Amino acid sequence: MRIFIGVALPLSLQKQLKKLLKVLERKHWPVKWEAIEKLHFTLVFLGEIPESKIVIVKEIVREICQQLPSFSLEIKGLGCFPDYLFPKIIWLGLKGDLKSLSFLQKQLKLKLKDQGFVIDNRPFLGHVTLGRVKKAKMKQLQEIGRQLKALREMEIGVEWHVKEVIIFQSQILSQRSKYYKVAEILLKNQNYKEEKWQISMLK
């Protein structure tokens, strides 16, 4: 199973981001934009793990979530990886209670590592991936980067409370992908629900 742990975005924020995506799409950049209903931010990417390990992952996530109450976040600014000179992945940044977000991510990473899971050691930068740049000439890439840089302080104006962490299963099928919600673990000592739920499929 291809697994990652993350946070989904509320409908109120999705509606605002849908408007933003329409504006960006009119720029006709060579970008494959993500479906609105799939937008999320990843806390820890586990990759392929045996199904038998899911129980361990759930217990770790539940243990950490019971230590942390709900916290608030907002979207702030457009950015890209690896940088504005050579943009390949376009993302939205986060602001708000980044201290709680950092605690959550660090604890998940440490506990999962202790149980033998292989975790990426790169520094954590909370972000919501909006799209991926396809083949483009250098001049076009630089222009995309220039426009993104001008929007790095942009704000959506929607604050939301992070109330749960989701264990997702990702399936890659040719040119499309599916996300399934394997488990939802609520913050601050609340019981978690367990289900399989298809969020969306890209065609």
Q: Are strands 89-96 and 2-8 parallel, antiparallel or unpaired?
A: unpaired
- In angstroms, the CA 155 to CA 79 distance is 12
Side-chain half-sphere CA neighbours of 82 within 13 A: 2
Torsion of CA 135, 138, 141, 145, to 10 degrees: 150
Give the residue carrying structure tokens 């740049």: 133
Question: What is the Cα–Cα distance from 196 to 184, expressed in whole angstroms?
Answer: 10
- Indicate which residues carry an active-site annotation: 40, 127
